[in-house]
Structure 1
């Protein structure tokens, strides 16, 4: 019985630390709606992705980041922009900063080199972090884009 009381006490402390409990003990979380729009261009072994985030609200986000994942491995050496980090052989995560409600964030441009020269690549764009906010509409921030080695921009 003593262990059970400690566990329940710890859980109660977590609820209070997370902002308190709402009706019926539910913890309320801020809600934001991140939309990612941009384009990707592939030429040889290089792919350049440019995107602009937008937060439809209803809450602002204090910090956010996006995940870019390619269907093929990236070259070992990369020159990534400030705020971006490679997380595995095919994935880069980039911070996009705070996002006010109904406002556009700063444009992010990421150029990568692929390990080989495929004729096409699939790019997955996804939200990695929303500063603790919840996004219930993932249709506009979780995207897949087929990019052909044509030098033409493919919009998303």
Structure 2
């Protein structure tokens, strides 16, 4: 666990490392500025390899100083993964990716990653949610929590 936290500190940001154990920092109304994070993109799977692409967006009204997203798969990931900069593995089925600062009513940098699942399942459920939002209050959690069933067809499934 200590090694995962240290790696996440270096890659995902200090606040996300606090959430590695599955407890995300939360803010309630009145605790800070309000923002509205959203993640939309696509996922495709072929022979146990899943390609995920998404773009973070902040609908505002306040800027987000830093954000990290959690991607969870219903199937375990292969032991060895090559992840892009800003992403770190956090368990058998979880990857954290830092999306960084997001201006009010602004788009972030597109995140693209490829993961290999153990074996070659015919389907996988991918869940995406915010694990750190820089301390802002997000009253609309519906658009930063996504679930998509990805079938092993090579087709893109949008969320």
Normalised to the residue count of structure 2, the TM-score between the two structures is 0.80
4+ residue runs over 2 A deviation: none
Q: Structure 1 residue 66 and structure 2 residue 69: aligned?
A: yes
Distance 1:27 1:124 in 2: 28
* Distance in 1 separating the partners of 2:104 and 2:68: 16
* Match in the other structure for 2:82: 79
- Decide which of 56, 60, 64 is 1:53's aligned counterpart: 56
CA distances 1:134-156 after superposition (whole Å, capped 9, x unpaired): 11101101011000000000000
- 1-side partners of 2:30 and 2:59: how far apart? 22
Structure 1 residue 129 corresponds to structure 2 residue 127: no
> Could you tell me whether the CA contact under 8 Å between 2:31 and 2:137 is conserved in 1?
no
Q: Which runs of 5+ in 1 are unaligned?
A: 1-25
Query: Aligned pair count?
Result: 131
Superposed, 1:109-148 pairs within 5 Å as 109-148=112-151
User: What secondary structure, in the 3-state scheme, does the structure 2 residue paired with 1:124 have?
Assistant: strand
Q: Deviations over 1:37-91 (max 9, x none)?
A: 0000001110010000110111101100100000000000000000111110000
Equivalent residues of 2:41, 2:55 under 8 A apart:
yes
Q: Distance in 2 between matches of 1:133 and 1:103?
A: 15
Q: SS where residue 80 of structure 2 aligns?
A: coil
Instruction: Tell me how far 1:27 sits from its aligned partner.
Output: 5.5
Given candidates 148, 152, 156, the residue that maps to 1:153 is 156
Q: How does 1:35-54 map to 2 (within 5 A)?
A: 35-54=38-57
1:91 aligned partner: 94
Work out which of the two has the higher radius of gyration on C-alpha atoms and give 1 or 2.
1
Q: TM-score, normalised by structure 1?
A: 0.82
Asked if the contact 2:58/2:102 (under 8 Å) is kept, the reply is yes
- Looking at structure 1, the residues matched to 30 and 97 of structure 2 have their Cα atoms a distance apart, in angstroms, of 29
* Alpha-carbon separation, structure 2, partners of 1:57 and 1:68: 23
